[in-house]
Amino acid sequence: MEIITNNQARPLYDFYGMTKEGQEWFKDYPNAEEGSYFCYRGNWHSLADFMRTDIPEWDGIETDTYFSATLIRLTNDAEYEVIAARVYT
């Protein structure tokens, strides 16, 4: 398994704090106004789409394909930032 990250903290946004492009992507989500979102590699992600993972040092995973996924780690300031990574098997 290969994990690639630059360990850059990415801010979390509420629905109204992100770009219009991000709002358009999530507008059909139930309770979209109550979610937390971040941008990674040019794509917006919702924390609600991540599941817990047993990969050491990572808190959540969102699968993209059978062989790849996005990982997140909550920072000490967990309400405002995440660190994201790509994982390949």
Per residue in 26-85, pLDDT (tens digit) is: 988 888 899 999 999 999 999 999 999 999 999 999 999 999 999 999 988 656 899 999
Q: How far apart are alpha carbons 50 and 75 in whole angstroms?
A: 16
Distances (CA, A) of 18 to 39, 68, 87: 9, 26, 25
- The token pair that represents 68 in the structure block: 């790849």
pLDDT at 70 (0 to 100): 97
pLDDT at 37 (0 to 100): 94
pLDDT at 76 (0 to 100): 80
Domain count, the chain: 1
> What is the mean predicted confidence (pLDDT) over 12-24?
93
Q: Report pTM.
A: 0.88
Domain range for 48: 2-88
pLDDT at 27 (0 to 100): 86
* CA 43 to chain CA mean position, Å: 9
Distances (CA, A) of 73 to 16, 28, 31, 38, 82: 23, 26, 24, 12, 6
